[in-house]
Amino acid sequence: MTQNAFQKVYGGGTLDAVIVKFGCIKPVASVLPSGIGACVDSVVTLSVSRSGFPLPSVQWQTSSNGGASWSALAGATDTVLTITASITLHGRLYRAVVKNSCGSVETNPSTLTVAQPPIISREPVDQSLCVGDTARFVVSASGSGLTYRWQEDQGAAYSDLAATLPYQGTTSPQLVLAPVKAGMNGYQYRCIVSGPCPPDAMTLSARVTVIPAPSIASQPTQ
């Protein structure tokens, strides 16, 4: 077989890259991506291309211990592997074994990274403060690549807060109001937590109660 004929039949490469013996050609497999990312419950695919004669078979394998051992995936004998991502599959390795009567070859492993949508584990709580005090609202959440957006409702509707005094940390897990003003009495605050996987998570509302300073209703008389 000439070099040109080989490239037409087997899609490139050189004759030296394969072993031709007794009328068969050792299998060659394409390279897999080193890693794939997915959100929980989404579907991702891996695909492998193959060459060789006779046409090699494909068997996909997975490893849950970093490649120390591998097991065959039942029924996964197509060139395309379809995976429904779940958190239990996070960190799994996948590879394809391409085999014919001349031998077999394994692809490089591909690591599956599974991300979850944000889940709030700590809600901001109501604050009762005096004028001039500092209010702190804190949210805790789990998830991947999280961002935070605090909002304020002055009595009409919620709107995003800008990072200007008296507000600090408007895009962080902790919102700071300093100093608290008398006019903030009854204001409510919440945080929207976002990540690469939908949906966003929203905290419950937390209210500021401003305690009025004591005042003298009447002066003592003599």
H helix and E strand count, the chain? 1, 22
- CATH assignment of 119-211? 2.60.40.10
Average pLDDT of the chain to the nearest whole number: 90
**pLDDT of 182 over the 50 cut:** yes
Task: Please tell me the predicted confidence (pLDDT) of residue 215.
Answer: 73
pLDDT at position 26 over 80 = yes
User: Would you kindly state where each structural domain of the chain is located, as residue ranges?
Assistant: 24-115, 119-211
Whole-number pLDDT of residue 198: 93
Q: Rounded mean pLDDT of 23-38?
A: 95
Name residue, tokens 């995936």. 73
pLDDT at residue 2, as a whole number: 44
Asked if the domains at 24-115 and 119-211 fall in one CATH topology, the answer is yes
Q: What number is the average pLDDT over the span 117-140?
A: 97
Q: Where are the alpha helices (DSSP H) in the chain?
A: 3-10
> What's the helix, strand, coil split of the chain in %, to 5?
10, 45, 45
Q: What integer pLDDT is reported at residue 125 of this predicted model?
A: 98
202-221 pLDDT tens trace:
999 999 999 987 777 777 77
What topology does CATH give the domain 24-115? Immunoglobulin-like (2.60.40)
Q: Does residue 177 register a pLDDT over 80?
A: yes
Over residues 56-73, the mean pLDDT reads 98
Asked if the model's pLDDT at residue 151 lies above 50, the reply is yes
| DSSP string for 124-168 | ---EEEETT--EEEE-EEESSS-EEEEEEESSS-EEEPPS-TTEE
pLDDT score of 22: 53
User: pLDDT tens for residues 74-124?
Assistant: 999 999 999 999 999 999 999 999 999 999 999 999 999 999 999 999 999
* Per-residue DSSP letter, 3: H
Does residue 22 sit in helix, strand or coil? Answer: coil
Closest CA to 56 of 88, 75, 78: 78
Query: For the residues 176-201, what does the mean pLDDT come to?
Result: 96
**What per-residue confidence (pLDDT) applies to 18?**
45
Main-chain phi, psi angles of 183, to 5 degrees: -70, -10
